[in-house]
Structure 1
């Protein structure tokens, strides 16, 4: 509101924040409507993660990363030393 000073604007914000009834967000309304027809299944507090396969050791991951870095360094060095 362009004609309001800071004190009036602060009053309006406090008045809006202190409202008794606050409208839920669009997502909350959508989920409430969806769950009314088809409620979600109960989940344990910490659900078991799905099996994603065996994990690699941290050394294998480190070797892969360092190998990629070395390959990039060699490729850039080759590009700089190549005669044109």
Structure 2
């Protein structure tokens, strides 16, 4: 890209930022139209997420599987290195 293109882009950004009227985004317009007839109810600042149990195994089981896999790989690599003739 040339320096002239950079200057032109910078000019365009300054011109756009200095606009007196800025149109809201499509999402803002959609929400305003939806909420005009049916406004949303009050929502607490931080809602209580509740328990997060989705039928997954507990974290200690996952940790044991990962550590067991790493140990098995280390033993396998050590065995291969031990048997390799040099």
The answer, yes or no, to whether TM exceeds 0.5 is yes
Structure 1 residue 29, shift from structure 2 partner: 0.5
Q: Note the aligned Cα RMSD (angstroms).
A: 3.0
Q: Which residue of 1 aligns with 2:79?
A: none
Structure 2, unpaired ranges of 5+: 77-86
Q: Which residue of 2 aligns with 1:11?
A: 11
Scaled by the length of structure 1, the TM-score of the pair is 0.56
2:64 is the alignment partner of 1:67: yes
Runs (4+) of structure 1 exceeding 6 A deviation are none
| Distance in 2 between residues matched to 1:71 and 1:33, nearest whole Å | 56
Scaled by the length of structure 2, the TM-score of the pair is 0.55
| Distance in 2 between residues matched to 1:9 and 1:73, nearest whole Å | 52
Q: Secondary structure at the match of 1:24?
A: coil
The size of the alignment, in residue pairs, is 68
Structure 1 residue 46, shift from structure 2 partner: 2.2
Q: Which residue of 2 aligns with 1:52?
A: 51
